[in-house]
Amino acid sequence: MKLINSFKYAIMGIIEGFKSEKNMKIHVLAAIAAITMGSALHITKAEWLLITFAISLVISVELLNTAIEKTINNITKTNPETYKAMGLPKDLSAGAVLIVSIAALVAGLIIFLPYLI
């Protein structure tokens, strides 16, 4: 029963991340576009593996970023000085999302451009 609850809570977290975060919606739309292009262009199994990994990594890091931001916001809600001091961890986690998003974009370009040219 604990395992089922673990999956339930994980799925609830993913859904909440999608509902509450604008950037998550953008990442999911990009993932849908990549999957659609991959299907239309009949990319190879190896290319599917890279696309799947890139999508999973971006969405996972975005969920971690959201968890970090929400935790810091809740902890510092009552103390503006603490909130200022906690800006760096939020910036670092946002930077991690930016890095994996750029890497995923580059991977997508490397995979899809040869099919389109």
Active site residues per annotation: 62
Helix %, strand %, coil % of the chain (to 5)? 90, 0, 10
Which residues in 54-68 are b (16+ Cβ under 10 Å) and which e? bbeebbebbbebbeb
Residue 48 CB neighbour total at 10 angstroms: 14
Helix, strand, or coil (residue 21): coil
- Copy the structure tokens of residue 96: 């991690």
